[in-house]
Amino acid sequence: MAGDGDYCSFTKAVEHLGDRWSLVIIRELMLHGTLGFNALVDGMPGISRSVLAARLRKLEDLGIVTRDRESGRGVPGYCLTRAGRELRPILQTLRQWSERFVPEDPAMVERDPDIVLKRLAGRIDRDRLPAQQVVIDLNIGGTRIDRAWLVLERGVEPSVCIEDPGLAEDRYVFLETDVRTLDRVSRRARSWWDAITDGSIRLYGEPTLVQALPVWFGQRDRVATSAREGSVAGARRTASQPSGQTATPVRRLKSA
């Protein structure tokens, strides 16, 4: 650990990067490379355009972010400089520390469920997705956003929609849960299989897609285990006749 002589350097770093958004912006550019202003807004739920513009100007002044004028785009996007890229191990360590030690904040995810949806999309293993496009229809309780659609396709970045994309009925998995359960699963504080087995997450729809859904999120295939057999069997029963009703026509609600 550095001594008192490095106090000034440490406080300078905190002063410049210790606000709510600066490190988040750096993370987005580190993960995705050059991004335009609108893409940055879309990737950070809760940030206003004015705040983003101010933070980007500050990061440019610090030499951490620059405009990518060689990308060939009409309007140059933002990218990290060498100084920005040097923050990678710091961000990785900070994320690992947060996942281990920072307590969950249920009120935050209820106020801003976009955070959970974005994290959920980021957990997708694209190589395990079906070649044909599928949709997870999320019915989420305990939040201002009670419906969302996650559109998935092998090798393609997942997208979160606020309106039903309108695929064929057999390309849907219907998921019902509350936002706190979804938050814990997206944080990997709880496994998909455990949540499905105890009914915290309820799945129904096309049986083969229902069976595969946890695997899309990096969970191991548990065909041989009793927990998997029970959860999939329950999902299949629900898919064929949830609560005495036909699954897809009843659950496929129209967007507001």
pLDDT tens sequence across 79-124: 999 999 999 999 999 988 887 777 667 677 777 778 888 888 889 9
Q: Is 4 helix (H, G, I), strand (E, B) or coil?
A: helix
Give residue 230's pLDDT band: very low, low, confident or very high (50, 70, 90): very low
pLDDT tens sequence across 183-205: 889 888 889 999 999 999 999 99
Question: Which two structure tokens, joined as six digits, stand for 254?
Answer: 């129209």
CATH fold, domain 108-251, is: Nonspecific Lipid-transfer Protein; Chain A (3.30.1050)
φ, ψ for residue 179, nearest 5 deg = -65, -30
pLDDT tens sequence across 161-170: 888 999 999 9
Question: Which two structure tokens, joined as six digits, stand for 105?
Answer: 């904040």
Of 183, 192, 195, give the one whose Cα is nearest residue 114.
183
CA angle 18, 36, 34 (to 5 degrees): 80
Q: What is the pLDDT of residue 254?
A: 34
- Which architecture does CATH list for 4-101? Orthogonal Bundle (1.10)
Give residue 5's pLDDT band: very low, low, confident or very high (50, 70, 90): low
Domain boundaries, the chain: 4-101, 108-251
Q: What is the pLDDT of residue 202?
A: 96
Of 52, 47, 53, 25, give the one whose Cα is nearest residue 114.
47
pLDDT tens sequence across 14-44: 999 999 999 999 999 999 999 999 999 988 8
